Structure 1
Amino acid sequence: MSNPSNAPSQASVSASLTQAILHAATRLGLERQPLLDACALHDEQLIDPDARISFAAQQALWLELDRRLQHPEPGLLLGRNLTPGPFSVLSYLLQSSATLGDALTAALRYQRLGGEGGELQVEEQDDTLSLLYRPLYPQHPATRIRVLAMMACWVQTTLPLLDGFRLLEVRFRHPQPDDLAPYDDVFDCPLHFACDDYAIVLPRDLCQLPLIQANPPLQQLLRQHAEALLARLPSASLSARVIGLLGEQLAHGEPDRAELARALALSERTLQRRLADEGCSYQQLLADTRRQLAEQHLRDGRLPATEIAWLLGYSEPSVFFRAFRQWTGLTPGEYRARYGAG
């Protein structure tokens, strides 16, 4: 499962993530202003946590950090000092998820809110689950420090949220370094280098375990905000923007295609034509969004199926039950019994 990547020349990243990187650097003894100067950024650009800056500017920041930090692997050092709070809505959304599986689903859906410097994918095989990251410009000199920082931060953030959290292996694109101690300190598992992808491999059954900071009411509010931010990203494909707007509309009842088209400054006919150009349709995106949200609610186990039907904009629960069976081959009750958190 993956999200469409943005064109490299237009890629942007979250101002809040850039702010978090700068905070980590100052904790490690670096001065903030020279770092800002090196990537031609100003503090005013980073005040709004929902603002965006160019991916190229952040790449320049990573290069400057790589030059200034005296450490065998600066990315791992930075990752261990990145705090999740300044990441704004995306970080809080992941931490308040009911289970690790729910957090990963949200990470896939909203990954562009953090940045467009690569693509996150999840692959399931037998008893393992792999988080794959495919960066833009994999040979760029800033890629190694950037991706290592993100991998280390994810592990350090997830570890206290999940009892029994452990890694099976970690894979890296770059060759094996002489000093493996920084890697062992962060990952504590078998390490593989010169691989095709960056990847963190977990036991698949961890996905069903509850997160310690699960907060369903807060998560619902954050999800609505994340959907609105996703829809507003100017570089998003039309289908991605439609999905974001559908998420907003479903929180208030049956989606209105005409209203959605107006929000995109399109006629309904143009909306349908442009979606067809991207290989999809409004009805398909609506069904996919409903299915994803339905499965999430059923795994959470907190809402009865009839209430889930109302939340997804169905006029009658029976219509939802029939649709869900067509999607999964299971009734909502059977799905909850098989995959529910409790």
Structure 2
Amino acid sequence: MTKESTLASSWLILFRLLEAHGVEAHTWLRELGMDPELARQPGARIPSWVVDVVIARAAAVIDDPAFGLAAAECWHPSNLGVLGYAWLSSSTLRQGLQRMQRYARIIGDRWGCRCVDETNGLRFVYDHNRSDLVVGHVMSDYSLALIVAMCRSNFARKLNPVRIFLRRPAPADPRPYQDFYACDVHFGADEDAFVLATADAEMPLRTANRELAAAFDAILAEQLAAHSKEDFISRCQVFLLKQLTSGEPRVDDLVNTLSMSRRTLQRKLREQGTSYHELLEETRYELAKNYLQESTKSVTEITFLLGFSEQGAFTRAFKRWSGAAPRDYRTALAS
């Protein structure tokens, strides 16, 4: 068995889904040597292979091949831990989906996702990373329906994607998919994905709270680094996030924190296609964008929060990163 795992609290969604279809998943977990009460313990995790076994069994006994879509009715933000609340505090759906992409491994090691800009929309691509077609198809139904439901939950009006792409073959009855997504559904596609209109992806959300979102991001970054000790980049980013408010982070301090030589640090970063300077720049840029969305922080305050010694240096750096001065960027966000 692999060491891949899923956040135990997310199983509460699966429990509710299966119970709605008359399946008692707790019994299966006990048979597999798992304690169902783990799902109620903050931060606990369950091996990913258990997910596959439970879903395969469920698919064999549930008559409805589209049963995974009902996950949309079974979730609560707390089931996704800090990520659930960070999602709700996102300023736009784009930011929420980008958070999902950034912190997906906290929820489950096996699956991944990415946001792709299109001419008139934002495509969210989901990958279950499972070769088993039955389990994979159910996982796609479950996960995409859940994420679309999350998008709808903090949107001010009725939200439907523009298009849905599913790798599963066209079912005998496509109506459950058409009814749920209320848009063009393409079966037998090369990927599992949905597309949001650009205007919907960028519309300010009624549940937005930028200060809370920034606080949640800091917690999530630490959780990701703690969970992914082999994720060298995450460990470096957590160090930078902690050190920036004290001034320019020094590479020697990072070397000491990681207990390695400067040469080893440079080699490991080079293997990841980056460098200390590039990683510092990327971290500062992401933080700068978050801070500029908060009307309570002045540009001067942001300057020092990012470790710059004077405002002019921050302004020049931000122009290099974004093509706009910080105040112009903030004005554009507000317009």
Same topology, TM > 0.5: yes
Among 163, 170, 176, the alignment partner of 1:169 is 163
Q: What residue in structure 2 maps to residue 137 of structure 1?
A: 130
**Runs of 4 or more above 6 Å deviation:** none
- 1:55 paired with 2:32, answer no
CA distance in 2 between partners of 1:129 and 1:70 (Å) = 34
- 1:96 paired with 2:89, answer yes
Deviation for aligned residue 1:212: 1.8
Q: What residue in structure 2 maps to residue 209 of structure 1?
A: 203
Q: Residues 265 and 43 of structure 1: is their aligned pair in 2 closer, same or farther, counting only changes over 3 Å?
A: farther
Among 157, 167, 171, the alignment partner of 2:150 is 157
Q: What residue in structure 2 maps to residue 243 of structure 1?
A: 237
Among 8, 20, 34, the alignment partner of 1:15 is 8
Q: What residue in structure 2 maps to residue 34 of structure 1?
A: 27
Deviation for aligned residue 1:170: 0.4
SS in 1 for 2:180: helix
CA distance in 1 between partners of 2:47 and 2:229 (Å) = 12
8 Å contact from structure 1 (residues 80, 152) kept in 2: no
* TM-score after normalising by structure 1: 0.88
CA distance in 1 between partners of 2:326 and 2:48 (Å) = 42
CA distance in 1 between partners of 2:259 and 2:57 (Å) = 41
| Cα deviation 1:101-128 (Å, max 9, x = unaligned) | 2212322221211112222111112211
Q: What residue in structure 2 maps to residue 281 of structure 1?
A: 275
CA distance in 2 between partners of 1:174 and 1:319 (Å) = 52
SS in 2 for 1:286: helix
With CA pairs under 8 Å and 6+ residues apart, which has the higher RCO, 1 or 2?
1
- 1:294 paired with 2:288, answer yes
Deviation for aligned residue 1:27: 4.7
| CA RMSD in angstroms, aligned pairs only | 2.4
* TM-score after normalising by structure 2: 0.90
Deviation for aligned residue 1:301: 4.6
Deviates more, 1:29-38 or 1:146-155: 29-38
Where do residues 75-114 of structure 1 align in structure 2 (5 Å cutoff)? 75-114=68-107
CA distance in 1 between partners of 2:259 and 2:40 (Å) = 29
Q: What residue in structure 1 maps to residue 109 of structure 2?
A: 116
8 Å contact from structure 1 (residues 71, 77) kept in 2: no
Q: Residues 24 and 285 of structure 1: is their aligned pair in 2 closer, same or farther, counting only changes over 3 Å?
A: same
Deviation for aligned residue 1:91: 1.1
Among 184, 189, 192, the alignment partner of 1:198 is 192
Total equivalences in the alignment: 334
Percent of pairs identical after alignment? Answer: 29
Q: What residue in structure 2 maps to residue 4 of structure 1?
A: none
Deviation for aligned residue 1:325: 1.0
Deviates more, 1:248-257 or 1:79-88: 248-257
Deviates more, 1:209-218 or 1:220-229: 209-218
Structure 2 unaligned spans of 5+: none
Q: What residue in structure 2 maps to residue 178 of structure 1?
A: 172
Deviates more, 1:229-238 or 1:169-178: 229-238
Q: Residues 68 and 315 of structure 1: is their aligned pair in 2 closer, same or farther, counting only changes over 3 Å?
A: farther
8 Å contact from structure 2 (residues 125, 192) kept in 1: yes
Among 59, 70, 75, the alignment partner of 2:63 is 70
Q: Residues 82 and 29 of structure 1: is their aligned pair in 2 closer, same or farther, counting only changes over 3 Å?
A: farther
Deviation for aligned residue 1:206: 1.8
